[in-house]
Amino acid sequence: MSDSSSTSTPNKLPECWGHRGASAAFPENTLASFERAIRDGAEGIESDVHVSLDNVVVMFHDPTLDRTTNGTGNIRDQNWYGPNGMEYLRTTKEPQQPIPTFAQTVELLMKVHPSSVLPPHTLILPSLASPRTA
């Protein structure tokens, strides 16, 4: 005798992904790009994360700031906070956007969007910058 209550369907991965968000409409890996991907029907977003010198986790594809922002250098060598902090950088692609932190991205994903209450949006982080060595 089998108990149907003990069978469960495995969690399915999303079928529609926002790679770096909706990067055709907004600068890649920004809150605007992530939100647009969700509103356009993406079931998950894919992004990379890096850790700043002062240990803030940021959503960013490249290990350096040069390609997509008005900043330069390695993320791991930059502070997030402070007068020259990455929190003040903006994307070079219009509309200019700040670099989001991981915490800001999670906050965005936790918002309830009328068209997408269930299932919760998935965030895939394929790579985390390697830990700093002392």
For 69-122, the pLDDT digits (tens) are 999 999 999 999 999 999 999 999 999 999 999 999 888 888 745 444 334 445
**Predicted pLDDT at 117:** 39
Per-residue pLDDT for 28 more than 70? yes
Amino acid occupying residue 101: T
Mean pLDDT of 6-19: 63
Options 19, 50, 113, 121, the catalytic residue: 19
Is 121 catalytic? The answer is: no
Is 19 catalytic? The answer is: yes
Report the predicted TM-score, pTM, of the whole model to 2 decimal places. 0.73
**Predicted pLDDT at 80:** 98
**Predicted pLDDT at 10:** 61
Options 50, 61, 113, 121, the catalytic residue: 61
